[in-house]
Structures are given as structure tokens and as C-alpha cells.
């Protein structure tokens, strides 16, 4: 039932829309969605930073695996597990993801961020631990926006030169 309502709403939205406006949506939807996702990820990281406290964690375990994506192929990703004390309690938590810059030896200490009273993952208090994902998504969105602008410029020159709209 929801799919029918979505189709009706989309049809109503596009009813008075010309082909040029429709192509503009097709060309720019990916970059705009990437930049919106980057903004939301950055907001989430900022909220995490505000809610969390900086503590010192000691690495007690470390997982390692080879990178499998185009961004980390040929590198080893590390996921440290920390023990730390907060508000009189002892905790053990992982960072929940791997990165090549998280190469910490067992027994080594690092500044981490943890939410008081929360038993979830912690984050290493560094650019890679807090802001890497929003930055990468923003870079992809910016590159896609540049490419979309070039594509739009080409489409405008080829198909809509002198049409005024």
C-alpha cells in the first residue's frame, strides 16, 4: 500500500516538471545525498563527542585483518579492545571498526572517548576515530558534485542551448 502512495506522490510532483528539471534531479541526486549523509554523520560524531568523556584506555586485545575495499586494499586493519575506568567502574570495549591507524600493541594506552554508563563501543580520540567516515563521505560527495556539474554543463550545451529552460 505504501508503494502505491509513493508512486502517486512522485507522479504528482513530476506532473508539471519539464525534462530539464527531471534530468537535473537525476544528475545531482547522488552528490546531494552523499553530502547530506556526510552532514548527518558529522552531526552524529559531534553529538558523540559532546556526550562522551575522554579517558585513557589500555589495549588488552587486538584483531587484525587485511583490507578488502578499494580504500584499504593492501593494508592491515586493526581493531583494538580496551579496558578503562570511568566513574568508579571498570569497563572493556572495542572501537567496533578497524582502521590501519589503530595499530596499537597490547599493553599500550590511548586516549579514547566513552559515554558514561554506556556499555557500547568506544572511539579512539583522534581524527581517524571520530571524523574519518564523515570526511570520506563528504569527499566522495564533493567529487561527485564536481563530476555532476561537468555532466550538467555538457547536457546543457548539447541539448538545451538557446531553449531558455
**CATH of residue 63:** 2.40.50
Q: What is the pLDDT of residue 106?
A: 94
Residue segments in the chain with a per-residue pLDDT below the cut of 50: 165
Q: What is the pLDDT of residue 39?
A: 97
Q: Is 41 part of a structural domain of the chain?
A: no
Task: Give the predicted TM-score (pTM) of the model.
Answer: 0.76
Q: What is the pLDDT of residue 114?
A: 94
d(CA 3, CA 50): 39
Our count of domains for the chain comes to 1
Q: What is the pLDDT of residue 162?
A: 57
Q: What is the pLDDT of residue 97?
A: 83
Which ranges in the chain belong to alpha helices (H)?
Answer: 2-14, 19-51, 127-130, 132-159
User: What is the domain extent for residue 81?
Assistant: 52-131
Q: What is the pLDDT of residue 107?
A: 95
Amino acid at each position: 500500500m505504501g508503494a502505491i502512495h509513493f508512486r502517486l506522490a512522485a507522479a504528482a510532483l513530476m506532473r508539471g516538471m519539464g525534462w530539464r528539471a527531471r534530468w537535473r534531479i537525476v544528475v545531482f541526486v547522488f552528490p546531494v545525498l552523499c553530502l547530506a549523509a556526510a552532514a548527518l554523520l558529522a552531526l552524529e560524531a559531534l553529538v558523540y563527542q559532546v556526550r562522551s568523556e575522554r579517558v585513557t584506555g589500555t589495549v588488552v586485545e587486538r584483531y587484525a585483518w587485511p583490507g578488502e575495499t578499494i580504500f584499504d586494499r593492501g593494508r592491515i586493519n586493526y581493531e583494538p579492545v580496551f579496558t578503562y575506568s570511568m566513574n568508579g567502574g571498570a569497563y572493556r570495549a572495542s572501537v567496533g571498526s578497524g582502521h590501519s591507524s589503530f595499530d596499537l600493541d597490547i599493553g599500550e594506552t590511548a586516549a579514547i572517548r566513552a559515554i558514561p554508563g554506556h556499555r557500547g563501543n568506544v572511539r579512539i580520540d583522534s581524527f581517524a576515530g571520530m571524523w574519518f567516515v564523515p570526511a570520506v563521505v563528504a569527499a566522495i560527495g564533493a567529487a561527485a558534485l564536481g563530476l555532476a556539474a561537468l555532466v550538467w554543463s555538457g547536457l546543457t550545451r548539447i541539448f538545451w542551448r538557446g531553449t531558455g529552460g
